[in-house]
Structure 1
Amino acid sequence: MTEYPDLAAALAALPVDLPPGRLVTEEDGRELLLWISDDPAPAGLWRQLHRAHPQTGLWPLLLSPLDRTDDDYRPWLSGELYPAEASEPSRYDPQALLRGWWRQVDEDEDEDVSEDVSEDVSEDAGILDEALAPYGRTWPGPAPTATVPDGAAGTEARELAEVLGSVKDVRLGLVRAGSGAEALTVCGWGGPANHADTGRIAAVLADWERRFGAQVVEVGFATLELSVPVPPATLAEALPLAAEHTAFCPDLVFQGTGTLTAYAEQLVGAHQWSFWWD
């Protein structure tokens, strides 16, 4: 283990005992990416590790696979983690990313509408504008930043982890990282590859952690579950946030609720944000 002194030392110094698990390396075996438990995470352990993160530098994640019947537990044990392919999150302005993705949604969905519905451009535009109402094709700008009480973000993350760990067959992962957003690039997760590289995704997630206290709790093959300590209380508050989510993950609307407003309604009072990419 001396080949990987940072993670090895952090694991050895943990104040709690870990269950049986293994170290996962990059495909060529030269870089250590994370530690993963062999079985579902024991109750309460994520909470303990999350509390200890400021001292250990190890960020806990609940890890789920693409297919629970697959022995490779993709992507975590199948060699499908590529940290070198992620760009550096600090290079990006999160709002510029969201604004650009909003324009991309406009272009991509316009093409789909044209192929599937009509050759009439004005009719196509109306369908897309209806789906993205009340904003249509105009990017509304950032959602207002929430006021998050001290400690609330961590408390909510630990509570969500308890819930997810009790209802899902999820394993525990540990990544040498400062946050859940950073952990995604460090371990080489590539779930949204059809939409954006992980560095860009992590840049927006880090911004949401700063603005809303949202924290990454569970990561799947192409899914994310985030905890949210202060959700929007009204539809008016939820709509600009729904626009950010739609730019970040268009499938939520265009393969999900069908309209931005319907998705925004789901955000009112919700302490969990779920994302998935096709």
Structure 2
Amino acid sequence: MLWHAEYAASSGVWTALGARAARAGLLPVLIEVGDTQGGPDEWELMPGEMSYPGDHDPEELLAEYWAYAVEEPDELDETIAPYDETWPGLAPAPESLPADPDIRAAETADALLDEGSWFKDPRLALVPARRSADIPAAIGWTGPMNYEDDTARICAILRDWEDRFGIRVIALTFDQLVLSVAAPPTTKDAAEAVAAEHFAFCPDNITQGDHETLAAYAEHAVRGRRVWSFWWD
């Protein structure tokens, strides 16, 4: 279930409407209605088919996804270095969050809505959800369907990232998820550890993305980055 505006969102709308809606149990998210897959009415949303994010252990899920993603490790030796087929475990959490996650979310939303953004026709939507990480499951989003058909399992990992890195779900398209990040990793080792989680979570980010190796992805898409974006083929 979600409600979205009938007019295009603009910078400032997240702060203007999102904070007030949150007090009523509605959380904001930007949605794209102008790409080739249309808006939520055409996304094949299936909220009744999703489980509950709190019923899943995020580290167990990431270990499971990692094993699936590296089923043929010989073909991925260079791609996943410095790791191998053994799940490396969770990245360490930062000692503190250097930014308020909700303020970072509003800043990120404004940046996405500025002129020149990749959004074609963004709308602000309001979703009844307990926490931002639950939004995809709450609306029955099926963006990762070719990889994971129970989006609540994806949201269990988002909950963990919410706790460790202060992420918020900022935007959804038919098959893309955009997060703001209050505490991105700042060192090479920490970024590579987070990149390993990203690879398990969404292998397409690396195997079909702009960076051919996990190490390059860590340096250019994770280290110090205040926005994490995921796309499933």
Matched, 1:245 2:179: no
Q: Secondary structure at the match of 2:6?
A: strand
**What's the CA shift for 1:238?**
0.3
Aligned-residue CA RMSD in angstroms? 1.7
Matched, 1:145 2:117: no
8 A Cα contact 1:62 1:165, kept in partner? no
* Rounded Cα–Cα distance in structure 2 between residues aligned with 1:132 and 1:38: 43
Instruction: Name which structure has the greater RCO, CA cutoff 8 Å, separation 6+.
Output: 2
**What's the CA shift for 1:146?**
1.9
State which structure, 1 or 2, has the greater radius of gyration over its C-alpha atoms: 1
Which of 139, 142, 156 does residue 104 from structure 2 map onto? 156
Matched, 1:42 2:10: yes
The verdict on how the C-alpha distance between 1:201 and 1:244 changes in structure 2, with shifts beyond 3 A counting, is: same
8 A Cα contact 2:98 2:182, kept in partner? no
Q: Secondary structure at the match of 1:39?
A: coil
8 A Cα contact 1:47 1:161, kept in partner? no
Q: Which residue of structure 1 lines up, in the alignment, with residue 23 of structure 2? A: 55
- Residues 124-169 of structure 1, C-alpha deviation per residue, up to 9 Å, x if partnerless? x443122111011111100001234486111110100001112233
Unaligned stretches of 5+ in structure 2? none
**What's the CA shift for 1:69?**
5.6
Matched, 1:172 2:124: yes
User: What is the identity percentage for the equivalent residue pairs of Structure 1 and Structure 2?
Assistant: 43
Which of 211, 233, 243 does residue 186 from structure 2 map onto? 233
Code of the residue aligned with 2:146 in structure 1: it is N
* Rounded Cα–Cα distance in structure 2 between residues aligned with 1:94 and 1:177: 19
TM-score (norm 2): 0.91
Which of 61, 77, 90 does residue 97 from structure 1 map onto? 61
8 A Cα contact 1:147 1:230, kept in partner? no
- Residues 235-264 of structure 1, C-alpha deviation per residue, up to 9 Å, x if partnerless? 111011000000000001111222111111
* Rounded Cα–Cα distance in structure 1 between residues aligned with 2:198 and 2:137: 20
- Residues 11-69 of structure 1, C-alpha deviation per residue, up to 9 Å, x if partnerless? xxxxxxxxxxxxxxxxxxxxxx111111211331211233335422110110014x536
Q: Which residue of structure 1 lines up, in the alignment, with residue 172 of structure 2? A: 219
The verdict on how the C-alpha distance between 1:128 and 1:189 changes in structure 2, with shifts beyond 3 A counting, is: same
- Residues 72-123 of structure 1, C-alpha deviation per residue, up to 9 Å, x if partnerless? x23x12261110111221111000000000000012xx2xxxxxxxxxxxxx
Runs of 4+ in 1 over 6 A off after TM superposition: none
Q: Secondary structure at the match of 2:124?
A: strand
Q: Which residue of structure 2 lines up, in the alignment, with residue 194 of structure 1? A: 146
Which of 179, 182, 186 does residue 134 from structure 2 map onto? 182
Q: Which residue of structure 1 lines up, in the alignment, with residue 158 of structure 2? A: 205
Code of the residue aligned with 1:131 in structure 2: it is T
8 A Cα contact 1:147 1:212, kept in partner? no
Matched, 1:261 2:198: no
* Rounded Cα–Cα distance in structure 1 between residues aligned with 2:82 and 2:43: 43
Q: Which residue of structure 1 lines up, in the alignment, with residue 81 of structure 2? A: 133
* Rounded Cα–Cα distance in structure 2 between residues aligned with 1:130 and 1:149: 33
- Residues 208-244 of structure 1, C-alpha deviation per residue, up to 9 Å, x if partnerless? 0011101100011010110011211121110110000
Residues paired across the two proteins, number: 226
